[in-house]
Amino acid sequence: MSDPQTQAAAMADAACGVLRMARSLVESRRTIDLGGLQDSVGRLCAATFDLPYEEGRAIRPKLVAVLAELDALEKALHMAAGRGQKQ
């Protein structure tokens, strides 16, 4: 992997970790602050767009994993909002 590709892959791994932690906190009925998440994901997208085509395709599975973690967090937030309305 090239250095920019390695950095983009590391950014994707870090984003997955942050999203996993956020989901875990939500599922534990803890409050989370999503401030900065948009900037972090934006930097990941920019880093990925800057890669040559083949290098970008090589980290596609990591980007798919970020999307899956984001979807899981969204689901957890909806479930938590539903719990809050029932109380």
Degrees to nearest 5, angle at CA 39 with 79 and 12: 75
**Could you report the per-residue pLDDT of 6-46, keeping only the tens digit for each?**
999 999 999 999 999 999 999 999 999 999 999 999 999 99
Q: For 2, left (φ over 0), alpha (ψ -120 to 50), or beta? A: beta
Domain spans of the chain, in order of start: 3-86
Beta strands in the chain (DSSP E): none
Distance CA 63, CA 65 (A): 5
Degrees to nearest 5, angle at CA 26 with 74 and 69: 40
Distance CA 4, CA 19 (A): 22
**Could you report the per-residue pLDDT of 53-80, keeping only the tens digit for each?**
999 999 999 999 999 999 999 999 999 9
pTM here? 0.88
